Structure 1
Amino acid sequence: MSTVRSSTTPFICGLDAALRVVSGKWKPLILFFLAKDPKRYGELKRCVRGVSDKMLIQQLKELEVDGIVVRTDYKEIPPRVVYELSPFGFTLADALIPLCEWGTEHTDIIEKALVRRVTA
């Protein structure tokens, strides 16, 4: 596997390409919750605890531009906007399942490692 960038692709490898799409603290969590079912903005904000409105809106816009998320505005009053994964977005969410399982399986070890980081 070559790590030299070719003149035809801006990515080092497939992992580089994938990380460009899911980069950021909140995007993987957004994908996780939207993979379960479509959500209105407020619902999604409650699921992704700790994210600011500005950041959630920015991350959703980027995912929409990338073709991962579909935003449906029903043009109603009060406003009703629903976010859901596109078929392409579901392929990415499926790719993240093993990472989620790994995190769940190793939560205790990860927690201890994070404590060591703080005290190091």
Structure 2
Amino acid sequence: MAELSNRTGQVQLMPERTVRSVKRCRPTAHGDVAAPARSRPDSAWRGGWDAEQLCKLSDVKRLFSGDWMHAVIVALADGPKHYKELLDTIRTLCEQDRGHRRTLHESVLARTLKTMTADGLIIRCQQSTAFPPSVQYSLSPATAEALDAMMPMVTWATKHAELIQRSRDRRCNAQAVGSE
């Protein structure tokens, strides 16, 4: 752990690797470009980030990091769905997504739903009064709240579509070169 002062002069303990990456953002004598200043006013920034906030951000990223979790969440955003309906909705969404070149297989969806249910991201509701038993999946209240909180990120992504496309192209090109 290393000490790093934030903008307000408070000293924070951060992992050494994080400190090195933060220090790299500073301008060098070789003419490297410094990271651009934040365009938000200081009152909106609320004093900067600390290690605990960074940890929480990483926790959220890990919680929603499954390959198909985003698609499941978006598919369930408008209400509960049965397994086949969910599978069809996700496949339709993926056909419309230019950057998504994979097909969702039933076994992968089953595994994803099991993981998301265990993590409390979705709710599995089985009605055993019918035969065969009817199962529906829906977003948990916490996931619905997270989805609402993500809408500003969607707005940001729309505003910075060129940045995202360049990154997507660069990553696709890097994968193509690596697979040759």
Q: TM-score, normalising length from structure 1? A: 0.76
In the superposition, relative to structure 1, how do residues 55 and 116 fare at CA in structure 2: closer, same or farther (>3 Å)?
same
Identity, in percent, stands at 32
| Alignment correspondent of 2:140 | 86
RCO greater where, 1 or 2, for CA within 8 Å and sep 6 or more? Answer: 1
| Alignment correspondent of 2:83 | 41
In the superposition, relative to structure 1, how do residues 2 and 79 fare at CA in structure 2: closer, same or farther (>3 Å)?
farther
User: Counterparts of 1:112 and 1:20 in 2: how far apart (Å)?
Assistant: 24
User: Counterparts of 1:107 and 1:81 in 2: how far apart (Å)?
Assistant: 38
- In the alignment, which of 63, 68, 75 is matched to residue 26 of structure 1? 68
Aligned length: 114
Structure 1, unaligned runs of 5 or more: 5-10
| Alignment correspondent of 1:100 | 154
User: Counterparts of 2:75 and 2:57 in 1: how far apart (Å)?
Assistant: 22
In the superposition, relative to structure 1, how do residues 96 and 3 fare at CA in structure 2: closer, same or farther (>3 Å)?
farther
Alignment of 1:57-76 (within 5 A): 57-75=110-128, 76=130
Name the amino acid aligned to 2:153.
L
CA contact (8 A) 1:71 1:84 kept: yes
Larger CA Rg, structure 1 vs 2 = 2
Name the amino acid aligned to 1:65.
A
Q: Secondary structure at the match of 1:84?
A: strand
1:6-57, Cα deviation, whole Å (9 max, x unpaired) = xxxxx96111110121012211121122121111111111121221112111
User: Counterparts of 1:99 and 1:2 in 2: how far apart (Å)?
Assistant: 28
- In the alignment, which of 44, 56, 59 is matched to residue 17 of structure 1? 59
| Alignment correspondent of 1:8 | none
Deviation at 1:67, TM superposition (A): 1.4
Name the amino acid aligned to 2:71.
L
- In the alignment, which of 12, 37, 56 is matched to residue 109 of structure 2? 56
